[in-house]
Every structure is written in C-alpha cells, then in structure tokens.
Amino acid sequence: MSPSAHPAASSRTPSAAPTQADLLAFVRRVAEDHELIGSLPLDPEGRTWLRLEGPDGSEAWLIGWPPGTGTGWHNHAESVGAFLTARGALQENSLAARLPTDGWKTLELSEDVDRERRLTAGQGRAFGRHHVHEVLNESRTEHAVSVHAYYPPLPRIRRYSRTGPVLRLESVESPEDWQ
C-alpha cells in the first residue's frame, strides 16, 4: 500500500486544522501498520525517511534511526506536532520552558527546565508550537522507527547547540534547505 493511500487518513473535514490530539491519533494508527513500518529501508549509518500523507494538509514522516543517531536540539517553529515510536526505543530530551521566538542568540536556562522521556514501541507524544527538544536512538545495536506529523507543514526548523545551561541558536532552516 502506498503511503498516500494509507488508511490512517483523518475523517475530519478538510478545512479543519488538525489538533495535537489528531496528529497523535494519526501517528498511532500509522505505527500499527506493520507492513508500512517494515517497508522503510534502514541504513546502518544515517537516518532514513519516507514522506507520508498526513491528515488535513499536515506533513508526516516515517523515520528510521540507526543506533547512536539523533536530531540535535531543535524546534519546529510555528508547527504543532506529534511523534510515536513504532519500533525500538527513542529518548526525547526537551525543555519545559517557553523561549522567545526571535531576537536572541544565547539564553541561560534555569535548572528545572530539563525533561526526559524514553518512548518505547507504541509510545508517543504531542507537542505545541516552539517546543525545543532533541530525539535520540541511544541503543548501540538496534534501529528504531518512528512516525511524525506536523501542522502546518514545517515552515522552519531552528537548530540549537547546548553547553550546560546555555542554549545557543545556531541556524534557522527553511524547506528549501532540506531539498
């Protein structure tokens, strides 16, 4: 079955923007399609991905994570999103703080902002706009596979570096940078 014909399409009206709950329900349904999950080619060194048709104009991806890979600290700008681990386990480190969206290069974070989640197969989460996180496959031997959905489709990704409590904005990418 092709991803664009995937039965996980939403039953909402096409003009309604999907909510975080809608996106989480979508990634959960897609993760249950074992044939689709198994069809993703896995590379031993780099992440692999397959674009899916998300609900109501959202952007969706199936992503393969080799052992020891991760995203680095980033956010999805104005998009809300959800992701779910379909196979293996992923670690999400996030910040429980609302950061200014523009006009800064370096921030010193308070001690109590760090959050950690280990998401094994079948576990996922939704997140709001400007959610800063990194996602990692900490396994030394096993691939992980996850399903992600964002709305609106990703207008930008902000990438950060982190040293202790200091978060530094390194770059802002737009869709043209990913082509």
Q: What is the model's pLDDT at position 15?
A: 60
User: Which residues of the chain carry a pLDDT beneath 70?
Assistant: 1-15, 178-179
pTM for this predicted structure: 0.88
Q: What is the model's pLDDT at position 58?
A: 96
Interval 47-77: pLDDT, tens = 999 999 999 999 999 999 999 999 999 999 9
Q: What is the model's pLDDT at position 9?
A: 42
Q: What is the model's pLDDT at position 4?
A: 40
Q: What is the model's pLDDT at position 84?
A: 98
Q: What is the 3-state secondary structure (H, E, C) of the chain?
A: CCHHHCCCCCCCCCCCCCCHHHHHHHHHHHHCCHHHHHHCCCCCCCCEEEEEECHHHCEEEEEEECCCCECCCEECCCCEEEEEEEECEEEEEEECCCCCCCCCCEEECCCCCEEEEEEECCCEEEECCCCCEEEECCCCCCCEEEEEEEECCCCCEEEEEEECCEEEEEEEECHHHHC
Q: What CATH class is the domain 12-178?
A: mainly beta
Q: What is the model's pLDDT at position 12?
A: 46
Q: What is the model's pLDDT at position 137?
A: 98
